Amino acid sequence: MKKRFFGGIHPDGRKELSAASALRSLSPKLAILPMQQHIGAPCRPLVRVGEDVLRGQRIGDGEGLCVPVHASVSGRVVAVEPRPHPSGREINAVVIENDRLDRAVPCRENHLPTEQLEPQDILRAIREAGIVGMGGAAFPGDAKALGALGRIDCLIANACECEPYITADDALLRRFPDQVLQGMAILKQCLKPQRAVLAVEDNKAEAIARLQAKMTEDDAAELLVLPARYPQGSERQLILAVTGRELAPGSLPADAGCAVFNVSTFAAIYRAVRLGLPLTQRIVTVSGEAIRRPQNLLVRIGTPLSELIALAGGLTEENARVHSGGPMMGLLQKDLSAPVVKAVNCVLCLPEEKKSAAAPVCLRCGKCVEVCPMRLMPLELYRSERSGDLNALRSLNPFDCIECGCCAYVCPGALPLVEHIRRGKRSLKEGVQK
Amino acid sequence: MNAEMNSSPHIHSPLSTRRIMLDVLIALLPAFLAGAARLGWRALAVGGVSVAAALGSEALVCALRRRGCSPSDGSAAVTGLLLAMTLPVSVPLWQTALGAAFAVIVVKEMGGGLGQNAFNPALAARALLMLLFPASISRYPALDGVSSATPLHRMALSALPQESPLELLLGNCSGSIGEISSIALLAGGAYLIHRRVISPRIPLACIGAVAALSLLLPRAGSSLHSSLQWMLCQLLSGGLLLGAIFMVTDYSSSPVTPRGQAIYGALCGGLIVLLRSVGIYPEGVTYAILIANALAGCIDRLCIPRRFGVQRGGRA
């Protein structure tokens, strides 16, 4: 049943930088809460400047594919205006001055046995808590679960965390394995799959031991240890590894009878359904060679990246490159006042890049073809995008590309392959519109 | 410009173009030095002239083209050293220089430049020299009073060479500068595979095809023992290992698809056996690989990897 995915790479994990640290909490002076932290329609602010808010209070919501945003600290709203967002754009945000009192909205706990939880109640709790996919995609959690309702036989908890440096899920599993397992039991009750699998890479020995200790009496979920290889945590590659099924181009996991959620999302679901707590905090890895004290932080959503960096001892060099997310798929940050949003799992600080004098050149070595987990031909995609041959480009299936970056990582000629494939997708989409 | 620099991924494998070329030079060095140790100081002169001429030609072309290329990437040095290794030690130095200049200027740079040339520059240059100066390319000087015939000269007559497979492995025979020491070539190949400069697919397919075909093809009056010996001598003599490890794996003239690479390697092996047994030259590696070079693009088009989530034949 299990199947190795094709291609992939073994970059130096560098996880030892942050893995061993204690989990410190961080509550910011100013919480900047963008009204869009998910894929879909943005929220409307529900509070005005000057208003007093409690932690856990809903401060933004909207219709359609949308989940609400909650205040992550108590205090006064000091601004509702566009602010820098880790995506690089400016997005309307509610800014709260933290009064450090941590006054919270009273929450309704739910201690019903799991079998008595109703699917629609679970879905409602997931939506009301503002839960999105916390592995990076930020798809609204209730919509994803609803799409899987009655269609799946396998529920997968993704703890692969295959990107180098990041240890946030690892820290979560070591500290709060119960929350993840209970979250899985809740969603299993909601979606009724035959199997619930927690997939983890074999480089997280302590987390695996913790889970095994907890799972002995628990038959709700099975643990699957996969060899560490990037991009094992990518949805399509993970479904292949767990079920042996290859998702057809353009189709969704539910089409192959699967639903994949990050382990942080499962913990958030547990906290939402059982404790009545909305999503207002998450674990973020602050790591890289250019940060003084790499570590994991339990961070309020909305904390500016600069505060995480300061708490981790600051940058070691002036020209360090700061990214949200991992080194393979993360985004370079120009403005460190951008906040941690729900899907940010890492603030990665790398030293200034030494610019190579040589111009990028394709050696036709074939390494990009050898590592592409979607079995594309990155060098040909690059060439047809550069020459503007859209028909050739389309025949190379650029929309299959998951932008994992394996090709550009291995390219000895340093071609910006991912960037050009992205451009190719854009020109094809524009071509269709015209 | 900025968008490209800021694009993910933000880390990069340490294996750069220049590092790859350095690794190939490192891998070639033991075999080259083993040849020089056996054939004398003149081998060093041939190697030096060839590398210098290749680098000089590359510098000239880069100066004329005035855009993004530089002899410092090391690819011209690799071409120069590879050419020297395919030549007999007695080759006139001016012919060596001519060959190296042809390899870099005509075959590589006029063929599209680094990564784009369809034919292996060193082998194309050797083929040219064989055409222009057959006497100096196919003459192997006597060693310590031993016969000047290379093992392959005898095998062209369907006779086993005088040397045992062990002697061939250790380089106790005559031949071109770089093909003498099989064990040094194998060590170089192991280094390149370890460094992930080449995948073992191509050399294994090529060597495997030669082994299988030389075992299977009927030869008059042969016992199993002599068949095995015949196979080993085919593998260890002439330019087979030099070709299979360092020439067939040349990036720009070989396929990029994994399946295509395996097919291409086997094709090279098959052509080598064919040309060794039917041609007027005892050796067939040079022409076999050049013919396969011409087919590499076609092989790639037939071997495009199966699309993820789609069965072969297009069914989802």
- A window 245-284, beta carbon within 8 A of B: 246-249, 251
Q: How far is B62 from chain A (nearest CA, A)?
A: 13
In this predicted structure, the answer to whether residue A357 has a pLDDT above a threshold of 80 is: no
Please list every residue in chain B whose beta carbon sits closer than 8 Å to the beta carbon of residue A350: 10-11
Q: How many other CB atoms are found less than 10 A from the CB of residue B139?
A: 12
Please list every residue in chain B whose beta carbon sits closer than 8 Å to the beta carbon of residue A246: 308-309
Does B308 contact chain A (CB < 8 Å)?
A: yes
Q: What is the mean pLDDT of residues B27-34?
A: 96
pLDDT of residue A257: 96
pLDDT of residue B245: 97
Q: What is the mean pLDDT of residues B28-38?
A: 95
List phi, psi (to 5°) of A184: -65, -40
Interior angle at CA A396, CA A394 and CA A400, nearest 5: 90
Q: What is the mean pLDDT of residues A52-68?
A: 96
Radius of gyration of chain B (CA): 20
Mean of pLDDT over chain A: 94
Q: What is the pLDDT of residues A183-214, one digit of tens each?
A: 999 999 999 999 999 999 999 999 999 999 88
The Cα-based distances of B73 to A150, A328, A348, B19, B315 in angstroms read 58, 26, 32, 9, 44
pLDDT of residue B24: 98
Q: Do A247 and B309 touch (CB under 8 A)?
A: yes
In this predicted structure, the answer to whether residue B66 has a pLDDT above a threshold of 90 is: no
pLDDT of residue A220: 76
- Quote ipTM for the complex: 0.91
Alpha helices in A290-360 (DSSP H): 305-311
Does B8 contact chain A (CB < 8 Å)?
A: yes
Q: What is the pLDDT of residues B286-307, one digit of tens each?
A: 999 999 999 999 999 999 999 9
pLDDT of residue A29: 95
Q: Do A350 and B11 touch (CB under 8 A)?
A: yes
Between A430 and A350, the more confident residue is: A350
Q: Helices B258-278 and B285-302 sit at what angle, rounded to 10 degrees?
A: 150
Q: How far is B114 from chain A (nearest CA, A)?
A: 6
In this predicted structure, the answer to whether residue B159 has a pLDDT above a threshold of 90 is: no
- Report residue B30's pLDDT band, with 50, 70 and 90 as the boundaries: very high
Does A88 contact chain B (CB < 8 Å)?
A: no
Q: Looking at chain B, which residue has its C-alpha nearest residue A252?
A: B309
CA distance B52 to A206: 57
Give rounded-to-5 percent helix, strand, coil for chain B: 65, 0, 35
pLDDT of residue B3: 43
Q: What is the mean pLDDT of residues A240-259?
A: 95
Does A166 contact chain B (CB < 8 Å)?
A: no
Count of A–B CB contacts within 8 Å? 140
Does B261 contact chain A (CB < 8 Å)?
A: yes
Strand ranges across the sheet with A75-84: A30-34, A90-98, A75-84, A52-53
Q: Do A379 and B256 touch (CB under 8 A)?
A: yes
Q: Looking at chain B, which residue has its C-alpha nearest residue A251?
A: B309
In this predicted structure, the answer to whether residue B45 has a pLDDT above a threshold of 50 is: yes
CA distance A67 to A250: 24
The Cα-based distances of A137 to A11, A123, A144, A344, B176 in angstroms read 22, 19, 11, 10, 59
Q: What is the mean pLDDT of residues B96-123?
A: 96
pLDDT of residue B147: 44
In this predicted structure, the answer to whether residue A404 has a pLDDT above a threshold of 70 is: yes
In this predicted structure, the answer to whether residue B40 has a pLDDT above a threshold of 80 is: yes
Please list every residue in chain A whose beta carbon sits closer than 8 Å to the beta carbon of residue B13: 9, 11, 409-412
Q: How many other CB atoms are found less than 10 A from the CB of residue B100?
A: 30
In this predicted structure, the answer to whether residue B240 has a pLDDT above a threshold of 50 is: yes
Q: What is the mean pLDDT of residues A155-175?
A: 96
Between B247 and B141, the more confident residue is: B247
Residue B47, H or E segment = helix B42-65
pLDDT of residue A2: 60
The residue type found at B160 is L
Please list every residue in chain B whose beta carbon sits closer than 8 Å to the beta carbon of residue A86: none
Give rounded-to-5 percent helix, strand, coil for chain A: 30, 20, 45
In this predicted structure, the answer to whether residue A356 has a pLDDT above a threshold of 80 is: no
Q: Which residues pair with A34 in a beta bridge?
A: A93
What is the percent of chain A where pLDDT is above 90?
89
Between B65 and B250, the more confident residue is: B250
Q: Looking at chain B, which residue has its C-alpha nearest residue A373?
A: B308
pLDDT of residue B82: 98
Q: Do B11 and A164 touch (CB under 8 A)?
A: yes
- Report residue B166's pLDDT band, with 50, 70 and 90 as the boundaries: confident
- A window 230-249, beta carbon within 8 A of B: 236, 246-249
In this predicted structure, the answer to whether residue B145 has a pLDDT above a threshold of 60 is: no
The partner residue sitting opposite A363, judged by closest CB among B252, B304, B310, is B252
Q: What is the pLDDT of residues B182-229, one digit of tens each?
A: 999 999 999 999 999 999 999 999 999 999 998 887 665 667 777 888
Does B221 contact chain A (CB < 8 Å)?
A: no
Q: Looking at chain B, which residue has its C-alpha nearest residue A327?
A: B10
Give the per-residue SS3 of B203-270.
HHHHHHHHHHHHHHCCCCCCCHHHHHHHHHHHHHCCCHHHHHHHHCCCCCCCCCCHHHHHHHHHHHHH
The partner residue sitting opposite A248, judged by closest CB among B4, B258, B310, is B310
Interface test with A, best of B1, B6, B10 (most A CBs within 10 A): B10
Q: What is the pLDDT of residues A114-127, one digit of tens each?
A: 889 999 999 999 99
pLDDT of residue B161: 76
Q: Do A248 and B10 touch (CB under 8 A)?
A: no
The partner residue sitting opposite B17, judged by closest CB among A164, A350, A413, is A413
pLDDT of residue B173: 78
In this predicted structure, the answer to whether residue B1 has a pLDDT above a threshold of 50 is: no
pLDDT of residue B229: 84
Q: What is the pLDDT of residues A33-44, one digit of tens each?
A: 999 999 999 999
CA distance B299 to B257: 9
Q: Do the beta carbons of residue A173 and residue A181 sit within 8 Å?
A: no
In this predicted structure, the answer to whether residue A389 has a pLDDT above a threshold of 60 is: yes
Please list every residue in chain B whose beta carbon sits closer than 8 Å to the beta carbon of residue A416: 4, 7
Residue that the structure tokens 């009056």 belong to: B221
Q: How far is A331 from chain B (nearest CA, A)?
A: 7
Does B159 contact chain A (CB < 8 Å)?
A: no
- A window 311-350, beta carbon within 8 A of B: 321, 323, 327-332, 348, 350
User: Residue B113, by phi and psi: left (phi above 0), alpha (psi -120 to 50) or beta?
Assistant: left
In this predicted structure, the answer to whether residue A377 has a pLDDT above a threshold of 80 is: yes
Strand ranges across the sheet with A69-70: A44-45, A58-61, A69-70
CA distance A261 to A242: 14
CA distance A315 to A350: 9
In this predicted structure, the answer to whether residue B175 has a pLDDT above a threshold of 90 is: no
